[in-house]
Structure 1
Amino acid sequence: MLDWLLTFPGAGWRDRWVASGADVNPLSWLPERCGKDHRDPTTVRQIAVEGMRTLIVARVILPGHEFFVTWKTKGYQQILDQQDAALIARIEAFADQHQISQRTRRDAWAVLARIMLHTGKDLPDVAAEDIFELRAHYREKHGVPAQGLGWTWTMLAGAGIFPKDSSLRAALRVGQRTPAELVDRYGVAPGPVRDLLVRYLSERKTNVDYTTIKSLARMLAGNFWADLERHHPELAGTDTLALPKTMVTAWKERLAVIVAPDGSRRPRADFLDVLLTVRSLYLDLRDWALYDATLAPWVVAPPVTRADVAGNKKRKLAHQARIHQRIRERVPLVPRMLAQLEQDRRDAEAMLALAKQTPLEATFGFKGRTYQRTSTRVRAGRGLPPELAYDVICVETGDRSSVGRIEEDAFWIWAIVETLRHSGVRVEELLELTHLALVSHRLSTTGELVPLLQIVPSKTNEERLLLVTPDLARVLAEVISRLRNRYSGAVPLVARYDHYEATTRPRLPHRSSATTAPGRPPSAPPPSARCCAPRPSGWA
């Protein structure tokens, strides 16, 4: 095989391997090199395969990631045998402590073996970039994530190779982008206008939140200037914001509608918002030029006049009327929805109880259908605690499902709807609720101890205290009880990622299971790092 690789150009064995195309067809050399061998072809092939595997495990040849898609990592145990036994034992101990299934461990070890065989590194030298490279390869070539990547990162973090308590999901978050990055996302040509937009967003960044900055970048860079450059290439690199009237009119006509990929057209809902934002850009530059002379060359008449945005108040009233009408249509359906959610929850709990009582490969009946217990292989069932990891297959339809995932989803949908209904909080406020938000207050008049729900500032930037009604108290008590029972009496501390501000918040005892997505490693710290949040006085 090495003689065959020498016939290809390259500075080393890896370069010659890539030049030969062996990543796609690793045994293409057999007919040429072993065509006259008198032995049985099956024997010749087996010897060739073992020889190639030896070269790969010895890391003489470093195949690409595509090689392992068709060839698999059959020899990964040999590469693991070369590693530090104490380190392997430490990773296995971490997996035992966190009750990671044997199937998940095999996936993680296969990922690590593939990385070591591809890079030539040993286990302690595996870096985050290696996992990013494998993930990018799968997304580009196969459109799906590589199996076991998340748990691989978690196990390496547990062994101290990666930062403690880190996760792949957190590492992939880019966080808040700079104004320059936000502008460059829309392909604005380098030049004075691009620099001006970056400068403008940098100034506005000090007094608005990150969501507003992203919206401003989309409207100014994407909907406004990038669109103008696409239809008028002569604007690329210009040093003025003055635009001919015909150009502005054509831009407004394009902005008013959204063209779908299938060619259909619909009115743009935020048409006036974009016009107002563009007008504000021109007026802000005019006002700022009074204090900064470098902005004076950019002061020109805005292409959006007062008449263009005159209907904004009417639009807001119409939008509010549509919201009210939608509420009027849906309010009569709320009792039916609540009854259905309650029934779904009871059915899911009953089905889970039957699955727990049924031995593996045995069947049980539920609501007119027959289900057979199977091994836990359904992807949606991964990441669940052992008491919920029960998979079944419907005998009549052949559909596989995770009973634990069904029960988990049914409970949290019910809890979310009930909490929203009884408290009236916004969705963002619901996601920020923690166990510490439950406080109590003793009335000075009667001495009665009343429970309160503390809502952190959100849209209105005001902190609120809501009186917890008996119905809401029942829902919150069930949520807390569920978390405590799962985590040995403690509510886990979770670092919640704020998708609006693109920041990771401090570790807090959040009351939502949404921090752990189906099939992904939990972002909660190990049990040794969990703490039991203090109970509000007067609460069970």
Structure 2
Amino acid sequence: MLATLSGPSFLLAGQESTQALGVQGARWLLDWLVTFSGTTWQQRWDASGAARWGSEWSTPVRRWLLARGIECEPVMMLDCGLAGLFSADVVRPGLEFLLSQRRTAFWREWAGPCRDRRGFARLQAGTDAAMWDSMQGRTARWYITALILVKGGGISKITVGDCVQLRIAERIVCTPGNSRHGFYMVLRDIGCFPADSPPSLHWVTRRKGQASVEDMVDRYRVANPAVRAVFIDYLSERQPALDYSTIEDLARTLVGHFWADLEKHHPGIDSFRLDREMATAWKRRLQTRPVRRRQPDGSFAEIQVPRVQYINLLTAVRAFYLDLASWSAADPARWAYWVAPCPITPAETSSKKLERRRKARMDQRTRERLPMLPTLVRIAEQRASDAKTFVAAALAAAPGGRFSAGGQVYVRSKPWTRAGANDIPIVYDEAGRRIKLRELENRAFWAWASVEVLRHTGVRIEELLEISHHSITQYTLPSTGEIIPLLQIAPSKSDEERVLVVGPELADVLSAIVCRVRGTDGRVPLVPFYDIAERVWSEPAPLLFQWNNGAQVRPVSAGMIRTALTELLEATGVKDAAGAPLYFQPHDLRRIFTTEAIMNGMPPHIAQLLLGHKDINTTMGYKAIYPQEAIEGHRGFIARRRALRPGEEYRTPTDAEWDEFLGHFERRKLALGDCGRAYGTSCQHEHSCVRCPVLRVDPAQRHRLAEIRDNLTVRIAEAQQAGWVGEADGLAVSLAAAEDKLSQIDARIARAGTVCLSLPSFPDIAARSAVIPVRPD
């Protein structure tokens, strides 16, 4: 065995010293293992109990060597020897033992390649050079080495199940990290797994998918099997008409908040028939919920706070009782036994007061945050710019060197501790605190992008995260040929798809996002997305909200957006009326968007379409009512009332006022005719008389109106040729009005002409006398 470890198969370029250390360490380890019982080296290793020592496994070996007068310094000699024995398949360790080791460089650089040279050469050829040398790349190679040492064989023999088993062992030994998923992505990219393998370990380790109705009920450990069967049957009947999140919430309400609480306080209960005392006690317990709050001394205490969803929970339980009574008429053998009087009256489920209180809280929340929106936008843009400058300064500094950013001095990490494949380093401040610059810059950028997209679109957080590159479309106006950019919002809560117009500000933000996430090939990478509400994975799509953590490309999560917004608001230092920090939730920007849109003149039914609401009352509920708005409306009403009935309308007018009243008709004489505006009123059409409906054109001025029409035609042609679409549309309105005025004049002229009705005239019917002249003879 020692000859094998000394041979060329364990000799790698640059690892000569590691091989020498491994041979000597293996000699000592084999001498130590001989002292244990067993017929194979594996049996002797198991009998030694070294695996139970974890990272301190070399302690008993060093004691044994020291007792024989052998100084084992450094300890790395024993580590290299054990790595050589594992690589030569003399002994196979367990995953938990390998993952507990602290020094892993010689494992991935020597033991792994010696075990499967071709596999590691193929791995390096299929991996990006920056990724191979990064911290994520080194971690991936260490995990791959651990798998082949434990499972035997080479890299090509690793399966998806082996990767899942490694993640399970990792949770036992140490805290798992998202960056450690990179080894699976590397193996999948070089074709180790079948084509139908999951695109990420999240599919099979962290995301469990949808639970069955039985699993939902069994979470609360219902003691009575018959009652458990009733809940399963009831939820199964309701499931086809409900989405997953709703059926899960219904199971939590009926089984968790209702029946599990009753079984806890009334053991042995087996019927839904509750007496008055039981029902009253349950309702009293349901009204509050426990919350852990930090005390002034730093400790935590559990207090009871009112439950906001109390009415909704009562409504769900009442619906359960009524459904059983209704279904028993159609299927009595199945449901009739469980029918019982409902312990909840209709008055207890009235939500009018609850809705008014919720509306008041929402309005107050919006009124507090709307004035702070410009500050939030400014700080978000500033932090994103500062983070970008911070990264540029860190990249310009030498490894291990000092640099300045934002008025502070930092130290760049050494090359072997850089944070990711994009070469963004880890830095340390003057106090020695570690700063993950890549994550800091990532959160700053997505905080700015989220604020901008949410405030310009009013979309929900789940809709924001599902926006893809395919969502950006365009529409060509058939009349003018103008191209309008559009943003398509995928169906989410209301299952209604909608399209939003992309303004210039939103277009700049989307362009910045696309430029950030676009790969080296010019395409947006395809990433799978997990719907938290429905517990399902979507097909890989070019999502705009994605980021590269060095090991893999992952979609931005809602938790990351909320964390980024919290950091952003802590930087602003804004306070609410009570002096507490004023925090924004993503849905607050949706309410602010609705309030600003309706206050600035957008019709509520258009806002309803943009927000994707099924009921316009929901849209109006999002719109906050301001005291200033009510005050201005009231003042306008008073002014209109005074204008209609002035207090001095019954006094005798003066001669000057009477002359002014009589002369106003002449002063309303215009170039084209007469103006029909009321006396004392201002022109509401900005003196655009051709468009004004109260202009009565004088037929004698028809030639002037015809000249205006011809001039408008020429100007429209010029505007269309120059591409002035807005001016051309405005002139077209004036041209249509001029044509209408000409038609009115022609109709009046035609009506004013003489029409012969073929009736006898007066000379034909009236008597008359005539004088006959006398002719001279």
Shorter-chain TM-score range: 0.7 to 0.9
Q: Secondary structure at the match of 1:356?
A: helix
Aligned AA (2:525): P
Contact 2:131 2:550 (C-alpha < 8 Å) held by counterparts: no
Higher Cα radius of gyration: 2
For the 8 Å contact 1:495–1:508, the answer to whether it is kept is: yes
The equivalent position to 1:245 in structure 2, one of 276, 300, 315, is 276
Change (3 A) 1:115 1:444: closer
- 1:111-510 pair list within 5 angstroms: 111-120=143-152, 122-142=154-174, 144-145=175-176, 149-164=180-195, 166-172=199-205, 173-189=207-223, 191-235=225-269, 238=270, 240-260=271-291, 262-293=301-332, 294-310=334-350, 312-375=351-414, 381-382=419-420, 385-386=422-423, 389-394=424-429, 396-484=430-518, 486-510=519-543
Q: CA deviation at 1:327?
A: 0.2
Q: Any idea what SS the aligned residue of 2:494 has?
A: coil
- With over 3 angstroms needed to count, the CA separation of the structure-2 counterparts of 1:278 and 1:271, relative to structure 1, is same
Instruction: Quote how far apart the aligned CAs of 1:225 are.
Output: 1.5
Name structure 1 gaps, 5 residues minimum: 525-540
More off after superposition, 325-334 vs 75-84: 75-84
Asked if the contact 2:184–2:200 (Cα under 8 Å) also holds between the matched residues in 1, the reply is yes
**1:315 CA displacement:** 0.6
CA distance 1:263–1:46, shift in 2 (3 Å): closer
Checking the alignment, whether the CA contact within 8 Å between 2:387 and 2:441 is kept in structure 1 is: yes
Equivalences for residues 9-24 of structure 1 within 5 A: 12=43, 16=47, 21=52, 23=54
1-structure distance, mates of 2:50, 2:386: 59
- How far the C-alpha of 1:404 sits from its partner, in A, is 3.9
- CA separation of 1:163 and 1:254: change in aligned 2, threshold 3 A: farther
- The answer to whether the 8 Å contact 1:180/1:198 transfers is yes
| Residue aligning to 2:710 | none
Letter in 1 for 2:223: A
Offset of residue 216 of structure 1: 0.8
1:40 aligned residue: 70
**Mean Cα deviation higher: 222-231 or 201-210:** 222-231
Residue 690 of structure 2 corresponds to which residue in structure 1?
Answer: none
Q: Closer, same or farther in 2 for the Cα pair 1:92/1:465, shift >3 Å?
A: same
Task: Structure 2 unaligned segments of length 5 or more: list them.
Answer: 1-31, 293-300, 556-777
Distance 1:28 1:19, change over 3 A: closer
- Residue 417 of structure 1 and its aligned partner are, at CA, apart by 0.8
What's the % identity of the aligned pairs?
Answer: 34
Structure 2 counterpart of 1:67:
97
Q: CA deviation at 1:97?
A: 6.6
Give, as a single letter, the amino acid of the residue that structure 2 aligns with 1:418.
E
Q: Is the 8 A contact 1:454 1:464 kept in 2?
A: yes
Structure 1, residues 458-478: CA drift from partner, whole Å, max 9, x if none? 233322222222222222222
Counterpart-to-counterpart distance in 2, 1:378 and 1:31: 31
Distance 1:279 1:26, change over 3 A: same
Please give the secondary structure, in 2, of the residue aligned with 1:42: coil
1:322 to partner: Cα distance: 0.4
Name the TM-score, length of structure 1 as normaliser: 0.83
- Alpha-carbon distance change, 14 to 459 in structure 1, aligned in 2, over 3 angstroms: same
Aligned pair count reads 508
Q: TM-score, normalised by structure 2?
A: 0.59
Q: Could you say if the C-alpha distance between residues 272 and 225 of structure 1 is closer, same or farther in structure 2, counting changes exceeding 3 Å?
A: same
The one-letter code matched in structure 2 to 1:264 is: I
Mapping 1:93-112, distance limit 5 Å: 93-96=125-128, 99-112=131-144
**Inter-CA distance 520–498: structure 2 relative to 1 (3 Å threshold):** farther
Is the Cα–Cα contact under 8 Å of residues 497 and 505 in structure 1 kept in the other structure? yes
Shift of 1:430: 1.3
Partners of 1:471 and 1:335 in 2: how far apart?
14
Counterpart position of 2:565: none
Q: Secondary structure at the match of 1:234?
A: coil
SS of alignment partner, residue 258 of structure 1: strand
In structure 2, give the amino acid aligned to 1:469: G
Q: CA deviation at 1:53?
A: 5.3
- Please, what is the CA RMSD of the aligned residues? 3.3
Q: Using the TM superposition, give the Cα deviation of residue 219 of structure 1 relative to its aligned residue in structure 2, in angstroms.
A: 1.0
Partner secondary structure for residue 488 of structure 1:
coil
How far the C-alpha of 1:71 sits from its partner, in A, is: 6.5
CA distance in 2, matches of 1:403, 1:45: 34
Separation of aligned partners in 2, 1:96 and 1:155:
10
C-alpha distance 523-327 of structure 1, shift in aligned 2 (>3 A): closer
2:426 aligned partner, one-letter code: D
